[in-house]
Structure 1
Amino acid sequence: MPDVLHHLSGTPVLVCAADGPALRGEREAADVIGEMFSQGATWAAVPVARLTDDFFRLRTRVAGGIVQKFVNYRLGFAVVGDISRHLEAGSALRDFVGESNRGTQVWFVPDLEALRSRLAGR
Protein backbone atom coordinates (compact mmCIF):
# COMPACT_ATOMS: atom_id res chain seq x y z
CA MET A 1 0.00 0.00 0.00
CA PRO A 2 1.46 3.42 -0.90
CA ASP A 3 1.89 6.41 1.36
CA VAL A 4 -1.18 8.64 1.01
CA LEU A 5 -1.81 12.35 1.56
CA HIS A 6 -4.62 13.10 4.01
CA HIS A 7 -5.83 16.39 5.40
CA LEU A 8 -6.14 16.11 9.18
CA SER A 9 -7.69 19.19 10.77
CA GLY A 10 -6.75 21.16 7.67
CA THR A 11 -3.10 20.04 7.75
CA PRO A 12 -1.67 18.07 4.80
CA VAL A 13 -0.23 14.88 6.30
CA LEU A 14 1.60 12.14 4.42
CA VAL A 15 0.28 8.99 6.10
CA CYS A 16 2.94 6.36 5.57
CA ALA A 17 1.83 2.80 4.96
CA ALA A 18 2.74 0.34 7.71
CA ASP A 19 4.10 -2.13 5.17
CA GLY A 20 6.45 0.36 3.50
CA PRO A 21 10.23 0.38 3.79
CA ALA A 22 11.71 0.81 7.26
CA LEU A 23 13.15 4.16 8.25
CA ARG A 24 16.60 2.93 9.22
CA GLY A 25 18.30 6.31 9.12
CA GLU A 26 18.68 9.68 7.46
CA ARG A 27 18.58 8.32 3.90
CA GLU A 28 15.13 6.82 4.35
CA ALA A 29 13.99 9.95 6.19
CA ALA A 30 15.11 11.98 3.16
CA ASP A 31 13.02 9.69 0.94
CA VAL A 32 9.92 10.39 3.05
CA ILE A 33 10.67 14.12 3.00
CA GLY A 34 10.98 14.03 -0.79
CA GLU A 35 7.59 12.33 -1.00
CA MET A 36 6.16 14.95 1.37
CA PHE A 37 7.42 17.74 -0.88
CA SER A 38 6.02 16.06 -3.99
CA GLN A 39 2.59 15.71 -2.37
CA GLY A 40 2.54 19.04 -0.53
CA ALA A 41 2.54 17.58 2.98
CA THR A 42 3.78 19.48 6.02
CA TRP A 43 3.58 16.48 8.39
CA ALA A 44 4.51 12.81 8.10
CA ALA A 45 2.62 10.18 10.10
CA VAL A 46 4.96 7.21 10.38
CA PRO A 47 3.62 3.97 11.86
CA VAL A 48 5.72 2.32 14.56
CA ALA A 49 6.00 -0.69 12.23
CA ARG A 50 8.16 1.42 9.86
CA LEU A 51 10.74 2.16 12.57
CA THR A 52 13.48 -0.25 13.58
CA ASP A 53 14.24 -1.09 17.18
CA ASP A 54 17.39 1.04 16.84
CA PHE A 55 15.15 4.11 16.51
CA PHE A 56 13.90 3.47 20.03
CA ARG A 57 17.41 2.84 21.45
CA LEU A 58 18.54 6.43 21.72
CA ARG A 59 22.20 5.50 22.17
CA THR A 60 22.25 4.40 18.50
CA ARG A 61 21.45 8.01 17.46
CA VAL A 62 19.08 6.73 14.75
CA ALA A 63 16.13 8.67 16.18
CA GLY A 64 18.21 11.82 16.47
CA GLY A 65 19.35 11.62 12.85
CA ILE A 66 15.85 11.00 11.53
CA VAL A 67 14.18 13.65 13.69
CA GLN A 68 16.87 16.21 12.82
CA LYS A 69 16.16 15.76 9.09
CA PHE A 70 12.52 16.70 9.60
CA VAL A 71 13.36 19.58 11.94
CA ASN A 72 15.91 20.98 9.46
CA TYR A 73 13.20 21.14 6.80
CA ARG A 74 10.67 22.53 9.29
CA LEU A 75 8.38 19.55 8.75
CA GLY A 76 6.32 17.72 11.33
CA PHE A 77 7.10 14.11 12.22
CA ALA A 78 4.60 11.95 14.08
CA VAL A 79 5.30 8.43 15.26
CA VAL A 80 1.92 6.69 15.24
CA GLY A 81 1.17 3.59 17.26
CA ASP A 82 1.88 1.75 20.49
CA ILE A 83 5.43 2.26 21.75
CA SER A 84 4.82 0.94 25.28
CA ARG A 85 7.23 -2.00 24.94
CA HIS A 86 9.99 0.43 23.99
CA LEU A 87 9.13 2.79 26.84
CA GLU A 88 9.55 -0.04 29.35
CA ALA A 89 13.21 -0.38 28.34
CA GLY A 90 14.38 2.80 30.02
CA SER A 91 13.86 6.34 31.13
CA ALA A 92 15.84 8.04 28.33
CA LEU A 93 13.19 7.19 25.73
CA ARG A 94 10.37 8.22 28.09
CA ASP A 95 12.09 11.57 28.58
CA PHE A 96 12.60 11.99 24.82
CA VAL A 97 8.94 11.20 24.08
CA GLY A 98 7.71 13.52 26.82
CA GLU A 99 9.92 16.38 25.62
CA SER A 100 8.94 15.81 21.99
CA ASN A 101 5.24 15.81 22.81
CA ARG A 102 5.61 19.18 24.55
CA GLY A 103 7.03 20.63 21.32
CA THR A 104 5.48 21.51 17.98
CA GLN A 105 7.35 19.39 15.40
CA VAL A 106 7.80 15.85 16.72
CA TRP A 107 5.01 13.92 18.38
CA PHE A 108 4.37 10.37 19.50
CA VAL A 109 0.65 9.56 19.24
CA PRO A 110 -1.32 6.32 19.63
CA ASP A 111 -3.33 6.70 16.41
CA LEU A 112 -4.29 9.04 13.59
CA GLU A 113 -7.27 10.36 15.52
CA ALA A 114 -4.94 11.54 18.28
CA LEU A 115 -2.76 13.21 15.64
CA ARG A 116 -5.84 14.91 14.19
CA SER A 117 -6.72 16.24 17.66
CA ARG A 118 -3.18 17.53 18.27
CA LEU A 119 -3.15 19.27 14.89
CA ALA A 120 -6.54 20.83 15.60
CA GLY A 121 -5.26 22.24 18.88
CA ARG A 122 -2.28 24.05 17.36
Structure 2
Amino acid sequence: MPDPVLLCYCTCPDADSAQRIAETLVGERLAACVNRLSGVASTYRWQGSVTTDREELLLIKTTTARFEALRERLLALHPYELPELIAVPVERGHAAYLDWVREGTAGRAQGC
Protein backbone atom coordinates (compact mmCIF):
# COMPACT_ATOMS: atom_id res chain seq x y z
CA MET A 1 0.00 0.00 0.00
CA PRO A 2 1.44 3.41 -0.93
CA ASP A 3 2.40 5.90 1.77
CA PRO A 4 -0.66 8.07 2.54
CA VAL A 5 -0.48 11.73 1.52
CA LEU A 6 -1.18 14.50 4.02
CA LEU A 7 -2.28 18.10 3.53
CA CYS A 8 -0.85 20.22 6.34
CA TYR A 9 -1.93 23.70 7.33
CA CYS A 10 0.40 26.23 8.94
CA THR A 11 0.03 29.99 9.42
CA CYS A 12 2.99 32.38 9.39
CA PRO A 13 3.20 36.01 10.52
CA ASP A 14 4.70 37.38 7.29
CA ALA A 15 5.78 36.62 3.74
CA ASP A 16 9.47 36.28 4.60
CA SER A 17 9.00 33.57 7.23
CA ALA A 18 6.43 31.78 5.04
CA GLN A 19 8.81 31.76 2.05
CA ARG A 20 11.77 30.60 4.16
CA ILE A 21 9.75 27.72 5.63
CA ALA A 22 8.30 26.73 2.24
CA GLU A 23 11.68 26.71 0.49
CA THR A 24 13.32 24.75 3.30
CA LEU A 25 10.60 22.08 3.48
CA VAL A 26 10.62 21.53 -0.28
CA GLY A 27 14.40 21.81 -0.54
CA GLU A 28 14.87 19.15 2.13
CA ARG A 29 12.21 16.90 0.53
CA LEU A 30 10.00 17.11 3.60
CA ALA A 31 7.25 18.48 1.35
CA ALA A 32 6.64 18.04 -2.36
CA CYS A 33 4.85 21.38 -2.67
CA VAL A 34 3.89 24.31 -0.46
CA ASN A 35 1.24 26.83 -1.51
CA ARG A 36 1.32 30.26 0.13
CA LEU A 37 -1.92 32.17 0.57
CA SER A 38 -1.36 35.76 1.65
CA GLY A 39 -3.82 38.10 3.30
CA VAL A 40 -5.44 35.53 5.57
CA ALA A 41 -7.23 37.13 8.52
CA SER A 42 -6.95 34.94 11.63
CA THR A 43 -9.03 35.56 14.74
CA TYR A 44 -8.00 33.60 17.82
CA ARG A 45 -7.69 33.67 21.58
CA TRP A 46 -4.13 34.09 22.82
CA GLN A 47 -3.04 34.73 26.40
CA GLY A 48 -6.56 35.60 27.49
CA SER A 49 -7.41 38.04 24.70
CA VAL A 50 -9.20 37.73 21.39
CA THR A 51 -7.11 39.17 18.59
CA THR A 52 -7.12 39.33 14.79
CA ASP A 53 -3.94 39.31 12.71
CA ARG A 54 -2.99 39.16 9.05
CA GLU A 55 -1.07 36.00 8.27
CA GLU A 56 0.12 33.82 5.41
CA LEU A 57 -1.32 30.32 5.22
CA LEU A 58 0.88 27.48 4.04
CA LEU A 59 -0.73 24.43 2.42
CA ILE A 60 1.93 21.75 2.67
CA LYS A 61 1.77 18.45 0.76
CA THR A 62 3.73 15.59 2.33
CA THR A 63 3.40 11.96 3.34
CA THR A 64 2.86 10.27 6.67
CA ALA A 65 6.38 8.85 6.49
CA ARG A 66 7.85 12.38 6.29
CA PHE A 67 5.47 14.10 8.72
CA GLU A 68 7.51 13.79 11.93
CA ALA A 69 10.66 15.12 10.26
CA LEU A 70 8.59 17.93 8.70
CA ARG A 71 7.07 18.77 12.09
CA GLU A 72 10.46 18.96 13.79
CA ARG A 73 11.93 21.14 11.03
CA LEU A 74 8.91 23.45 10.87
CA LEU A 75 8.95 23.97 14.64
CA ALA A 76 12.67 24.80 14.50
CA LEU A 77 12.15 27.36 11.71
CA HIS A 78 8.89 28.97 12.81
CA PRO A 79 8.94 32.33 14.64
CA TYR A 80 5.75 31.72 16.64
CA GLU A 81 5.87 30.44 20.21
CA LEU A 82 3.05 28.02 19.32
CA PRO A 83 2.96 27.40 15.56
CA GLU A 84 -0.14 25.98 13.94
CA LEU A 85 0.48 22.63 12.28
CA ILE A 86 -2.54 20.54 11.37
CA ALA A 87 -2.27 17.46 9.14
CA VAL A 88 -5.30 16.11 7.31
CA PRO A 89 -5.14 12.78 5.45
CA VAL A 90 -5.90 12.98 1.74
CA GLU A 91 -8.47 10.27 1.16
CA ARG A 92 -8.93 10.85 -2.56
CA GLY A 93 -7.19 12.71 -5.33
CA HIS A 94 -5.64 12.53 -8.76
CA ALA A 95 -3.53 9.37 -8.50
CA ALA A 96 -0.69 10.74 -10.63
CA TYR A 97 -0.48 13.87 -8.45
CA LEU A 98 -0.46 11.84 -5.24
CA ASP A 99 2.34 9.69 -6.69
CA TRP A 100 4.22 12.90 -7.51
CA VAL A 101 3.91 13.98 -3.86
CA ARG A 102 5.33 10.62 -2.78
CA GLU A 103 8.22 10.93 -5.24
CA GLY A 104 8.92 14.50 -4.16
CA THR A 105 9.29 13.47 -0.52
CA ALA A 106 11.17 10.22 -1.06
CA GLY A 107 14.61 10.05 0.50
CA ARG A 108 16.71 12.98 1.51
CA ALA A 109 17.80 16.03 -0.42
CA GLN A 110 21.33 15.96 -1.77
CA GLY A 111 23.72 17.59 0.63
CA CYS A 112 21.52 16.97 3.67
* Superposition TM-score, scaled by structure 1 size: 0.29
TM-score of the superposition, structure 2-length normalised? 0.31
> Counting strand residues as a fraction of each chain, which structure ranks higher?
2
Which is helix-richer, 1 or 2?
1
Structure (1 or 2) with the larger CA radius of gyration = 2
Q: Which has the higher contact order (CA 8 A, sep 6+)?
A: 2
